């Protein structure tokens, strides 16, 4: 029997509640969101940082690493979705899409994502410090 790696990841109660509320709000099938969380193991698709799914952080997002749905193409469902942290999705929303896509291909972006992930391993509950690592050059 061939089971993919994401089948071994179990959603927490908070993640399941997030799926229900986001599916209703954004008119996305619940299973799509469950599968994304499993594939990403509860982490941001861009940075790899463990995201927060608890209701108190979600609407409006009050934590930089709160989980949000990102449309792969702005305002379009055609290219699918990712689940990313609020701060990075907000950053994407403040620039033209073509510019954000170009930025994501740079070494500096990749280094910044690596710094965030490394900080998340050190202090996963300290979202401000995680974001500060994104902003710093080294």
pLDDT tens digits, 33-55:
999 999 999 999 999 999 999 87
pLDDT at 12 over 90: yes
pLDDT in tens, 89-108: 999 999 998 999 999 999 99
More confident residue, 62 or 21: 21
Torsion sign, CA atoms 53, 54, 55, 57: negative
Domain ranges of the chain: 5-135
As a whole number of angstroms, the distance between CA 100 and CA 41 comes to 24
Question: Are 52 and 63 a contacting pair, CB within 8 Å?
Answer: yes
pLDDT at 1 over 70: no
Please report the pLDDT score of residue 128 as a whole number: 87
**pLDDT band, very low/low/confident/very high, at 137 (cuts 50, 70, 90):** confident
Place of tokens 């008119």: 27
CB-neighbour burial class of residue 53 (10 A; exposed 0-12, middle 13-18, buried 19+): buried
Please report the pLDDT score of residue 3 as a whole number: 46
Cross-strand pairs, 70 = 82
């Amino acid at each position: 029997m061939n089971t993919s790696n994401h089948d071994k990841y179990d959603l927490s109660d908070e993640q399941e509640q997030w799926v229900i509320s986001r599916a209703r709000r954004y008119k996305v099938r619940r299973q799509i969101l469950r599968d994304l969380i499993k594939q990403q193991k509860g982490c941001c698709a861009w940075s790899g940082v463990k995201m927060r799914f608890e209701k108190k952080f979600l609407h409006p997002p009050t934590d930089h690493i709160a989980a949000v749905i990102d449309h792969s193409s702005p305002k379009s469902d055609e290219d699918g979705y990712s689940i990313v942290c609020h701060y990075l999705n907000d950053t994407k929303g403040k620039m033209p899409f073509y510019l954000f896509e170009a930025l994501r291909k740079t070494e500096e972006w990749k280094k910044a994502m690596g710094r965030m992930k490394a900080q998340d391993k050190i202090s996963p509950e300290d979202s401000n410090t995680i974001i500060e690592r994104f902003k710093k050059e080294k």
